[in-house]
């Protein structure tokens, strides 16, 4: 929802469909969208929220606070939820199961400041993934889309060390169809969560293939 015109209703339909067919739905929310917006995303069926442009420990703590029920956060409890098939569910079960596996907190590190403070960000309990926003991070570092540059790779190594030290999953977004880089990310950095493509990229690639096939004929 950060870089699209997807509505709350459309997002909820996607999440509900994912839950029905065994796909875990995560939703990336707009930057500084507010606690009320995040609450609605989670109540609508998301099992995790991706928070863009996380710069500090304070940002990380705020993300956990709205995503988790007490005692880990301050999320408000409601009744029927998609994660429980909209069935009436005891509050104790809602809190326990959702805190454990239905409210993943995924923080995007995509600025120089975020990298500089990644050590303290990684210490926050309740944060599961630190996700590198490759495009924005490379731009902020002054090396746009230069994935092999020393500046970019050094930043990723810093994030990797923080993740390993504090038991967080490192994620990678924005670099697609690059086996060499992905191999280094997985085997060298320990990346365990990768965005492999996005809808516009998939559509554009298929369109090019169809166009070329017609031109060849």
- List the catalytic residues: 3
Contact 176, 196 (CB under 8 A): yes
Place of tokens 């928070």: 51
Alpha-carbon Rg of the chain, whole angstroms?
Answer: 19
The secondary structure of 109-122, three-state, reads ECCHHHHHCHHHHC
Copy the structure tokens of residue 176: 């697609």
Q: What is the DSSP letter of 142?
A: T
Whether omega before 71 lies within 30 degrees of 0, making that bond cis, reads: yes
């Amino acid at each position: 929802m950060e870089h699209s015109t997807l509505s709350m209703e459309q997002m909820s339909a996607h999440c509900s469909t994912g839950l029905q067919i065994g796909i875990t739905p995560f939703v990336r929310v707009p930057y500084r969208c507010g606690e009320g917006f995040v609450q609605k995303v989670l109540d609508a069926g998301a099992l995790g929220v991706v928070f863009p442009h996380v710069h500090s420990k304070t940002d990380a703590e705020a993300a956990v606070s709205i995503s988790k029920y007490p005692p880990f956060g301050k999320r408000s409890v409601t009744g029927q939820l998609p994660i429980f098939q909209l069935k009436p569910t005891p509050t104790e079960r809602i809190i326990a199961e959702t805190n454990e596996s239905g409210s993943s907190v995924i923080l995007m590190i995509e600025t120089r400041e975020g990298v500089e403070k990644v050590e303290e960000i990684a210490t926050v309990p309740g944060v599961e993934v630190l996700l590198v926003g490759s495009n924005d991070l490379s731009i902020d570092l002054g090396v746009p889309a230069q994935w092999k540059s020393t500046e970019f790779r050094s930043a990723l190594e810093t994030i990797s060390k923080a993740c390993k030290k504090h038991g967080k999953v490192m994620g990678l977004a924005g670099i697609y169809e690059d086996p060499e880089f992905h191999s280094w990310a997985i085997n060298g950095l320990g990346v365990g969560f990768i965005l492999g493509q996005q809808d516009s990229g998939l559509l554009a690639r298929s369109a090019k293939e169809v166009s070329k096939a017609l031109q060849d004929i």
